Amino acid sequence: MTAADSRTTARRLLGAHLLGRGVSLRITEVEAYAGEADPGSHAFRGKTPRNEVMFGPPGHLYCYFTYGMHTCCNYVCSEPGEAGAVLIRAGEVIDGIELARERRHTDKDRELARGPARLTVALGISLSDNGTDLHDDASPLRLDWQDPFPAERILSGPRVGVSGPGGDGERFPWRFWIDADPTVSPYRPAKPRRRRAG
């Protein structure tokens, strides 16, 4: 897999197929993160045991645990030694829909992978998949590129739930999604943290 800028990769991932353990989906929403140059990135303060997969090689899956209950997954895209990844936020299940419904405990198909935590559940992705090579034919999780999605159908805006100096939305409008796709997750801005008195 050739390395590329996270924003370029984010746009390229829209419409690609992610296959995981009996379920396939078409990616409809992503967010780009630029590593140590990006206050919203897990790699902003440098390499740690948690984020080391983000530093390459490209084409691997970076998984992390959030809120003590959810796994989210990212496509690593930068040169080895540099951090860069794209959060896979939402998708449309196109194969294995019954299995996805069982995993998600819902028959609302637009909701099966609408949001990064729901997406990993639908695909059977867990924290143990961190570092998986998505371009290895023997891998239980794979990415299949499709023809580039038409640029006029791609919208962009602030990332979900990310705050930062100067306003993340103004400096990093790096959430990309397919216009009018019903599986795209609703936008929720970050809530400012309150400082405790005293």
Question: What does the pLDDT profile of the chain (198 residues) look like in tens digits?
Answer: 666 799 999 999 999 999 989 999 999 999 999 887 888 888 888 798 889 999 989 999 999 998 767 999 999 998 899 999 999 999 999 999 999 999 999 999 999 999 999 999 999 999 999 999 999 999 999 999 999 999 999 999 999 877 654 445 567 899 999 999 999 998 876 655 454 444
Q: How many CB atoms lie within 10 A of CB 16?
A: 21
- Give the span between the Cα atoms of 111 and 113, in whole angstroms: 6
H or E segment at 101? helix 97-104
- Give the span between the Cα atoms of 32 and 88, in whole angstroms: 9
Domain 6-178, classified CATH 1.20.140.150, yes or no: no
- Give the span between the Cα atoms of 60 and 143, in whole angstroms: 10
Q: How many CB atoms lie within 10 A of CB 5?
A: 13
